[in-house]
Amino acid sequence: MHILHLDSAVTGEESISRKLTADIVAKLKTDNPAATVTYRDLNEGVPAIDTDWYKAVRLAPENPTAEQQKLVATSDAYLKEVQDADVLVIGSPIYNFTLSAQLKNWIDQIARAGISFRYTEAGPEGLLKGKRAIIAYSAAGTPIGSEVDFASDYLRHMLGFLGITDVTFVAADRLAMDRDAGLARAQEAVSALAA
């Protein structure tokens, strides 16, 4: 088993989602001692897609400039980490009712027509099949699955769009209302994760 461990919280050591992703990876490694891990901290910076990215990556010119080659290489590196993984452990702190900008940028980098998904006569088909995703969801005041949670359905949809349909959420939510109860629910969910 190869695990891709992604964090995106801006709060450093204070981060609940970072603690949860670490706990999830530790649980998976306990259950699978031979498991390997690739770690990426998205808070270190994931370039947002823009016109230059579109011209380099989506249009894929025959003779790309050095800058275009760099943009393609960056996007390819993010995508290869996902392609090589059996399990994705994704930290998703909730900021202003949705996922972090860094995590959204990462999704934009890996959503590549013809590589991670394709359009067919029957509709879109995800090409990153056979993988599992475990999302560490942390929120001070946004209950997971509520009408003001604009992150969990989006993440489930986008992962499914890319072919990753086995998605589990480990939620530490409503922490501002009852921190201890939120953390206890999350730890129970981590303990219950099947290998």
CATH code: domain of residue 30: 3.40.50.360
Render pLDDT for 107-149 as a digit per residue (tens, 0 to 9): 999 999 999 999 999 999 999 999 999 999 999 999 999 999 9
Taking residues 22-47, report their average pLDDT.
96
pLDDT confidence of residue 194: 77
Distance CA 10, CA 157 (A): 24
Name 172's bridge partners: 138
152 is in an annotated binding site: no
Distance CA 193, CA 112 (A): 30
Token pair of 49, please? 């897609």
Distance CA 117, CA 75 (A): 15
Burial of 172 (0-12, 13-18, 19+ CB in 10 A): buried
Name 113's bridge partners: 117
90 is in an annotated binding site: no
Distance CA 36, CA 87 (A): 10
**Domain total of the chain:** 1
Domain span at residue 125 reads: 2-192
Non-local CB neighbours of 29 within 8 Å, separated by 6+ positions? 3, 35, 37
75 is in an annotated binding site: no
Distance CA 169, CA 15 (A): 17
Percent of the chain clearing pLDDT 70 (strictly above): 99
